[in-house]
Amino acid sequence: MEIFNLFFHTWYGGLALMVICSIVIAKACDVFEASTEYLGRNMNEGVKGATLNAIGSSMPEFLTTVFFLGFALSQDLGRDFAASIGGDTGSAIFNSVIIPMLVIWVVLASGIAGVSVSKKVILRDGLFLICAEVLLLVLLSSNYITYWHGLIFTGFYAIYLGYTLLSMKKNEPSEDEEEEEEPEAWFEKFLFKSESGRTGRSWLLLIVSTMIIALSCAGLVEGCKGISTSFGINPLFVALILVAAASSVPDTIISIRDARKGNHDDALSNVLGSNIFDITISMGLPLAIFLFVTNQKIDFSQAGPTLIDIRIMLLLVTMVTIAIFYFSKKMTARSVIVLGVLYGIFILYGIGAAEYHAGGDSILAQSAGSFIDYLRQPGGIGEMLQKTANAITSGW
């Protein structure tokens, strides 16, 4: 009982639980990455990153939404669903900023002058991502959330996935690509122990690693709630920074490994594809299933306005990062500095917003509060979005 109270009722216990879970997720991702690497061996560069890698590495975000909904008390459903959106939003910002920073560092450290990425990949995934974020900004401003909201987001991802797969050309492996390195890790030895049955073993590793990630995500959710309870703040803001970073471990590992192999398109398309998955499937599919099965609506009139500034922040960060990716001939150390400053501003804003909602009056709280009050003023952006969303969703 003492151990239970330590992990679930103290901030340091909750933080320790989240750290442990993120380490487990990182180890499970090694297994996951090996299986997806084999299953996606014939996909074009840029397509594998946007599909197999993105879907699998976004499992933590998907599963944290599942557990936020599944563990929520009826009176806290709106608050906890908002926290899951905060985790998905924070993860998308982490992916857009921190992962490209690390990828650029890895490439520069290898002696290459900079990172160049296909403009086609940036344009395809970037435009879909911006559309997904606009959808998130508008639809989640309604007073009530129904399973139709989840279905719309899920349908959007189906359109993106279909378009991406149709753009794929058959990739015939060359003789060099068929050469295999000597397996070192236990799961690699298991996967490549014989020519026959590799596909089946890949799927087995994929399923087992996903189950381990699922258990770890349950720990992330409970750790998040423990920290928020201890500090008396909305779990949304804990999820926005800590859950987001922990759940982005798979994306980080896969993108860095792709960068080390010279697959820069895959490294970046994984980031953008993961963000699209986070915003649509990770949030939308669990929501649709949960509300359809339980036959209820989520009262979002109180929790929804708390998210308006976060969703606008996400859209702004995405537009800036995509502009950097698209218009830079090569991304260099200067790009790393710009992205680092951008993420620093986001972290400071998240801390300030948490303080503001908790009644704090620090400089950060006052700065964030000014932006929040501007958005929520009568006749302002928040009210406009709410009216638009209610008009669209009134029959749902």
Half-sphere exposure of 267 (CA within 13 A, CB side): 27
Most confident of 34-43, 135-144, 263-272: 135-144
pLDDT tens per residue, range 16-25: 888 898 889 8
- Is there a domain that residue 177 lies in? no
- Is there a domain that residue 8 lies in? no
| pLDDT value of residue 47 | 64
Domain range holding 319? Answer: 13-169+183-393
pLDDT tens per residue, range 305-334: 888 999 999 999 999 999 988 888 888 888
pLDDT tens per residue, range 189-236: 888 888 888 889 999 998 898 889 888 888 888 888 888 888 888 888
Most confident of 4-8, 123-127, 167-171, 262-266: 123-127
| pLDDT value of residue 170 | 53
- Is there a domain that residue 175 lies in? no
Percentage, residues of the chain above pLDDT 70: 90
Q: Residue 169 pLDDT > 70, yes or no?
A: no
- Is there a domain that residue 164 lies in? yes
User: What mean pLDDT is predicted for residues 32-59?
Assistant: 71
| pLDDT value of residue 380 | 92
- Is there a domain that residue 176 lies in? no
- Is there a domain that residue 6 lies in? no
Number of domains making up the chain: 1
- Is there a domain that residue 122 lies in? yes
| pLDDT value of residue 390 | 95
User: Is 353 in contact with 368 (CB distance < 8 Å)?
Assistant: yes
pLDDT tens per residue, range 284-299: 999 999 999 999 999 9
| pLDDT value of residue 247 | 83
Complete DSSP assignment for 304-334: HHHHHHHHHHHHHHHHHHHHHHHH-SSB-HH
CB atoms within 10 A of CB 75: 8
- Is there a domain that residue 42 lies in? yes
d(CA 393, CA 12): 41
pLDDT band (50, 70, 90) for residue 141: very high
More confident residue, 27 or 121: 27
d(CA 134, CA 154): 15
CATH number, domain at 243?
Answer: 1.20.1420.30
| pLDDT value of residue 353 | 92
pLDDT band (50, 70, 90) for residue 107: confident
